[in-house]
């Protein structure tokens, strides 16, 4: 082996091991866990209180100016699942005698995978409210957010020539100039300015407020009603935490809520991506190394480029 | 030492043969489907849905198509970094295949993007850039297409140098001088960029987190995608060389391709060993005995089969065995990418996906266009190495 080649191999081995170390050592360069913003808004849904009237589904459709998503009968607003026409849905879980309603909409993750997937922050987390907001002006329609969402919440208007992503934004368009005021232990907007589903719910099954207040309330309910609930607030820790929280009398998996660890979904991808591209140092170093090897090999390159010579 | 036994030359002959017309027809049909898609939306032509928002266009045309376009990258690594100049005749056709693979992947992305008219904002609105691995892929691929074009440009310049038009002649001379002068830095970019975006294609699927089956979800995904594209790159170069030799009656580079195949064999075996070790060390070995495990065995089995063919010295000297092994490696590499982007992706039991007919026609059209452009290019420009094989009695 000639010395030049040996040196070239050494440089290559060096850069390869450097990039491998970066890729393989998420534990060392791990990205810090995300915390909810202090004013994080959210919802608390309680399966033991929901009567399945679907008033929230209709209210959501009206509040968001959606085309009605008719169910199998083609007449009534009766969506079976979230879709490009439905941002909020009530489903029924039934297993023998055991039943439970289930409300689905965006979970407003503390560490949203959809926003991490989005190239131009078309989906992004509001720094104050923590609402995961959508701005179609910067959306290219790549649907990476849908791939990334662990709850399959983000939906897309596949049937339209000019489609958009569709998902709950906690009725942020209704807030306007309204201010948060304390009301019955929760931070609330003046009626008509809060999330439509919560305002319309006749059973108090879904309420809104700050995540902090809702988490405390959920824990209070579990403590006050021993045996009534699965003793866990879904969303407290799942996937790094969500701003929409759930209390249930049946196991959460039965409601379609996946068992997720405490780590945010973007954790692995972002540890690697932000590790490798921090300050753009690694690509620049690799470019310099490649340039150096090529420069050393340029005599032979010259021969190769012989054909290029006039 | 490297000796260049041959200079590149154009194949010549008429482009519009009957089989070429068939290619153009398939491409045109794909084009019509594309127009339909732009007019009526994605649902009209595809089975893409909210559970499987990415289908064959992403898994094949983009994720696999760019890997098939890694011949230029893989051969450049060998020739220019490991200083193995003897493979130099393979560079130019490999660069052409890469340019077509990447160029048409960009076309496929445009078809797939629901809001393609906003795409121009991605490179322009840099203050809005996120750390999404997809942004890295998008920007990097766009620059790489330009780099490939510059890398291939000597083929055009050499042709135009003999043009009767003096303006074109002087442009060609200036172009050649430019490429020659900045050769090292252009080449370094041509190696850096695929290293970046091919690994990022792996990182991208890490963001699907729990939806990607643990048999494929590993922090090594970016590294595996990088190694995978090198295997596919060598496979494509061997295949392309044999197919060109047969189709255009060029002399076969059997000896050189045999040595290249040995390199490909080594990389493929490394990939298989690494993949299995990773699965076992992450405690996922039991999952190999499931339907997902079958997908892994197919993916690795094809690579092992390709490597086994190349184990024997005699097979490495046989053009048909070389081509067979290369095909196995390319298909094995493709299955890995399909497994990560479609098979191992589990949005939930309620969802299913299989491409619709118009969706497939668009993919076929893009492949046909790719072949058609390749044929037209090698017939018109000095890309393939060597002279035509002497006619046999």
> What tens digit of pLDDT does each residue of B69-89 get?
999 999 999 988 888 888 888
In this prediction, residue A298 carries a pLDDT of: 76
Q: Does A308 touch chain B (CB under 8 A)?
A: yes
Helix (H) or strand (E) holding B19: helix B18-40
Structure token pair of residue A258: 């996946």
User: Is the CA virtual torsion A148, A152, A158, A162 positive or negative?
Assistant: negative
- The whole-angstrom distance between B57's CA and the closest CA on chain A is 12
With contacts defined as CB-CB under 8 Å, which chain B residues touch A283?
A: 192, 196
Helices (H), ranges, B56-165? 56, 65-68, 71-76, 91-112, 121-124, 133-160
User: pTM of the prediction?
Assistant: 0.92
- Let me know if A164 is exposed, middle or buried by CB neighbors in 10 A (0-12, 13-18, 19+): middle
User: Is the CA virtual torsion A8, A9, A13, A19 positive or negative?
Assistant: positive
Q: Rounded to 5 degrees, what are φ and ψ at A309?
A: -65, 140
Instruction: Return mean pLDDT, chain A.
Output: 89
In this prediction, residue A309 carries a pLDDT of: 35
Q: What is the pLDDT of residues B200-241, one digit of tens each?
A: 999 999 999 999 999 999 999 999 999 999 999 999 999 999
Residue ranges of chain B with pLDDT lower than 50?
A: 1-6, 391-393
Nearest to B114 among A9, A163, A239 (CB): A163
- Distances B145 to A125, B150, B250 between C-alpha atoms, Å: 33, 9, 28
- The whole-angstrom distance between B393's CA and the closest CA on chain A is 33
Q: Rounded to 5 degrees, what are φ and ψ at A117?
A: -80, -30
Task: Give the confidence band of A20 by pLDDT, cuts at 50, 70, 90.
Answer: low
> Does residue B10 sit in helix, strand or coil?
coil
Name residue A120's beta-bridge partners.
Answer: none
Q: Which of residues 46-75 of B touch A (CB under 8 A)?
A: 46, 48-51, 53-54
Inter-chain touch A283–B192, beta carbons under 8 Å: yes
């Amino acid at each position: 082996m000639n010395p030049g080649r040996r040196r070239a191999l050494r440089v290559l081995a060096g850069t390869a091991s450097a990039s491998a170390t970066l890729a393989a050592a998420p534990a060392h360069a791990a990205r810090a866990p995300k915390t909810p913003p202090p004013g994080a808004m959210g919802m608390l849904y309680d399966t033991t209180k929901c009567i399945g009237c679907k008033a929230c589904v209709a209210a959501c459709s009206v509040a968001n100016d959606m085309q009605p998503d008719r169910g199998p009968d083609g007449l009534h607003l009766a969506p079976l699942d979230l879709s490009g026409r439905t941002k909020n849905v009530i489903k029924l879980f039934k297993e023998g005698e055991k039943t439970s309603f289930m409300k689905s909409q965006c979970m407003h993750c503390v560490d949203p995978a959809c926003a991490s997937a989005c190239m131009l922050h078309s989906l992004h987390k509001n720094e104050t409210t923590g609402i995961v907001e959508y701005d179609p002006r910067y959306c290219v329609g790549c649907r990476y957010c849908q791939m990334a969402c662990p709850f399959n919440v983000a939906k897309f208007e596949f049937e339209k020539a000019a489609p958009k992503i569709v998902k709950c934004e906690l009725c942020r368009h209704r807030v306007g100039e309204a201010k948060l005021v304390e009301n019955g232990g929760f931070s609330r907007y003046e009626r008509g300015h809060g999330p439509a589903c919560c305002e319309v719910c006749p059973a108090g099954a879904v309420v809104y407020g700050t995540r902090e207040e809702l988490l405390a309330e959920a824990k209070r309910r579990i403590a006050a009603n021993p045996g009534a609930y699965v003793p866990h607030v879904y969303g407290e820790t799942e996937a790094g935490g969500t701003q929409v929280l759930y209390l249930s009398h049946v196991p959460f998996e039965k409601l379609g809520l996946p068992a997720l660890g405490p780590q945010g979904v973007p954790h692995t991808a972002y540890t690697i991506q932000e590790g490798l591209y921090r300050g753009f140092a690694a690509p620049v170093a690799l470019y310099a190394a490649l340039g150096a090897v090529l420069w050393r090999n340029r005599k032979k390159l010259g021969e190769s480029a012989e054909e290029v010579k006039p | 030492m490297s000796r260049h036994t041959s200079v590149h030359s154009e194949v010549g002959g008429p482009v519009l043969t009957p089989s070429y017309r068939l290619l153009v027809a398939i491409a045109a049909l794909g084009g019509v489907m594309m127009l339909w898609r732009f007019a009526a939306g994605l649902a009209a032509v595809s089975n893409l849905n909210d559970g499987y928002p990415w289908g064959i266009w992403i898994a094949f045309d983009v994720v696999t198509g760019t890997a098939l376009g890694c011949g230029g990258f893989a051969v450049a690594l060998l020739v220019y970094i490991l200083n193995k100049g003897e493979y130099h005749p393979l560079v130019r056709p490999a660069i052409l295949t890469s340019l077509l693979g990447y160029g048409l992947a960009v076309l496929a992305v445009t078809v797939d993007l629901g809001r393609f008219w906003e795409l121009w904002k991605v490179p322009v609105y840099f203050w809005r850039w996120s750390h999404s691995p997809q942004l890295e892929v998008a920007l990097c691929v766009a620059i790489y297409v330009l780099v490939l074009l510059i890398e291939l440009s000597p083929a055009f310049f050499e042709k135009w140098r003999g043009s009767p038009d003096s303006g074109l002649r002087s442009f060609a001379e200036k172009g050649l001088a430019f490429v020659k002068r900045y050769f090292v830095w252009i080449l370094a970019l041509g190696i850096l960029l695929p290293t970046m975006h091919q690994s990022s294609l792996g990182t991208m699927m890490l963001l699907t987190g729990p939806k990607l089956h643990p048999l494929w979800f590993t922090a090594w995904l970016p590294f595996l995608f990088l190694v995978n594209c090198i295997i596919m790159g060598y496979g494509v170069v061997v295949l392309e060389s044999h197919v060109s030799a047969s189709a255009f009656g060029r002399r076969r580079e059997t000896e050189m391709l045999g040595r290249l195949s040995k390199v490909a064999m080594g990389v493929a075996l490394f990939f298989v060993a690494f993949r299995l070790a990773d699965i076992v060390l992450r405690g996922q070995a039991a999952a190999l005995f499931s339907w997902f495990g079958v997908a892994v065995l197919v993916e690795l089995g094809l690579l092992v089969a390709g490597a086994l063919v190349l184990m024997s010295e005699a097979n490495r000297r046989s053009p048909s065995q070389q081509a067979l092994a290369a095909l196995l490696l390319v298909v094995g590499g493709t299955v890995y990418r399909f497994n990560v982007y479609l098979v191992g992706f589990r949005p939930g039991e309620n969802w299913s996906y299989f491409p619709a007919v118009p969706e497939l026609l668009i993919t076929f059209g893009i492949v046909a266009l790719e072949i058609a452009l390749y044929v037209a290019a090698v017939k018109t420009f000095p890309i393939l190495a060597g002279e035509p094989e002497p006619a046999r009695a």
